[in-house]
Amino acid sequence: MTKICKRQIFFLLACIAPIGKLIVLPTVLAASSANDLLLPMLAHVLLQAAVVFCALLLGKRGMGFYELLENTFGKVLGKAVATLFALFLFFAALLPVLEQKIFVQSIFYDTLPSLIVFAPFFLFAAYLMSKPLASYGRTWDVLAPIAAASLFGVLVLSVGSADYAAILPMGASGVRGFFGGTMSAFPWFFDGAILLSLLGKYDYEKGMAWQGALWYLAGGAAAIFFLATFYGIFQETSVQHLFAFAQTSKYFSGISVLGRIDYIFIIALAMVMAFYCILPAQAGVDCLLQAYGKPRYLPTILGVVVSSVYFFISLFVDMKFTSVLGAVSQTLFWIFPVFTVALPPLCLLLRRKRREVS
């Protein structure tokens, strides 16, 4: 249970990571890039595939992320960078958590429920964060087939209603649309950064870096296809349809007879999302534990503290999701490329050999 295997990382990259991009991001991209929404997505997938390659390549050194930092910068600076990185990861988890909250309240409840409906999520999050990150590989083994099968199910029910010609002509929104979409999509692409926190928790195998990038591209391709289907169904009205993966399948012809059978897939995907949206925060907790040691109750305490912070934030922004979304994706988006695009390749420049301990 102490190590994650190659397959489990690939499952995360190909099956679980794409699910996190299918709730609010399609709507955000449709708003910025209209029918060109595939292009920013493609750009991010390609960019992150390259980052994934770099991050996995770091695994060759057999050191944890903090170990790498400490090896080059020494203890104090190493700790500072690790703490900064952990804070970023906590920040990165905020939008997915709020996204999950508003998704749950809108999709699973007809009447607006009290906060107590979502409150157990924070208990779940605290429990997740108290577990060592290395034990998650096994969860991904179970979640990946569920995610893949559910996404496939949603797509099967959706493709019949989509007019794929709606995404043509490509490039209609121009460079501005492309860059606008690309910038606002940054908060959803933190997969490379998560891989940094997995360093030292898996044994690098030959060819793992490019294989990982390919798996990520495969997952990205599925997400892009979903985006095309989403826009093919809703076209110009896409901007009004939040929670994409719960919306596209409802026009399936069999639903009038069978009821919302697509809810089976939506519920399964929501479970996968519950694990995925808290993953950056877990990675953040793990990063702090690497830097500051692992006293027995520290993971639990950190898990409870971080969860409580998310809980209180969610209390204050209960009805202001769009404002948070705007703030993160329009104003604070620049924080993300620093940690999710630039940091992993920069880490390749860190000292390769272990420092001699005097």
Partner 1 sequence: MKNVTGDLQKNTDALKKLVPAEDIYFFDFTSDMGTPFTVVFADPITDKELLGELVVRPISHYGGPLTAKEIGKNIISPEMRTERSLEKLAAEVLAGNPVLLWEGMDEGIIVGTKKVFTRAIAEPSTDVAVKGPREGFIEDVKTNTSLVRRRLKTGELQIDFMEVGRRSKTNVAVCYLSGMIPSGIVEEVKKKVGEIDIDIVPDSSYLTHFLSSRPYSLVKQVGTTEKPDIFCAKLAEGRVGLLVDGSPIALTVPYLLVEDFQSSEDYFVPSYRATFTRLLRLFALIVAIYLPAFYVAAQLFKLQLFPQKLLLTIAGAIRDIPFSPSLEMLLVLLVLEILNEASIRMPKYVGMALSVVGALVLGETAVSAGFVSTPAIIIVAFSGIGLYAVPNLIEQTSVVRLVMLLVAGSIGTYGIILTTGFMLLYLVTTENFSTPLLAPFSPMIGRDLRDSVLKYDLGSLETRPRAMRSPNKRRLG
Q: Please report, as ranges, the residues that interact with partner 1 according to CB under 8 A.
A: 1, 5, 7-8, 104, 108-111, 113, 116-118, 120-121, 124, 127-128, 131, 135, 137-139, 141-143, 256-260, 263, 267, 270-271, 274-275
Nearer to partner 1, 124 or 297 (CB): 124
Give the residues across from 202 on adjacent strands.
4
Q: Nearest approach, Cβ of 126 to partner 1 (angstroms)?
A: 11
Q: Are 243 and 99 in contact (CB under 8 A)?
A: no
Q: Nearest approach, Cβ of 189 to partner 1 (angstroms)?
A: 24
Nearer to partner 1, 165 or 258 (CB): 258
Nearer to partner 1, 216 or 275 (CB): 275
Sign (positive/negative) of CA torsion 114, 310, 322, 40?
negative
Q: Nearest approach, Cβ of 287 to partner 1 (angstroms)?
A: 21
Q: Nearest approach, Cβ of 49 to partner 1 (angstroms)?
A: 24
Nearer to partner 1, 41 or 104 (CB): 104
Q: What is the DSSP secondary structure assignment for residue 37, as one 8-state letter?
A: T
Determine the Cα–Cα distance for residues 48 and 21; give it in Å rounded to an integer.
13
Q: Are 341 and 47 in contact (CB under 8 A)?
A: yes
Determine the Cα–Cα distance for residues 96 and 78; give it in Å rounded to an integer.
28
Nearer to partner 1, 7 or 294 (CB): 7
Nearer to partner 1, 137 or 219 (CB): 137
Q: Nearest approach, Cβ of 199 to partner 1 (angstroms)?
A: 20
Determine the Cα–Cα distance for residues 252 and 246; give it in Å rounded to an integer.
12
Q: Are 24 and 246 in contact (CB under 8 A)?
A: no
Determine the Cα–Cα distance for residues 137 and 155; give it in Å rounded to an integer.
26
How many of the other CB atoms lie within 10 Å of CB of 170?
Answer: 10
Q: Nearest approach, Cβ of 260 to partner 1 (angstroms)?
A: 6
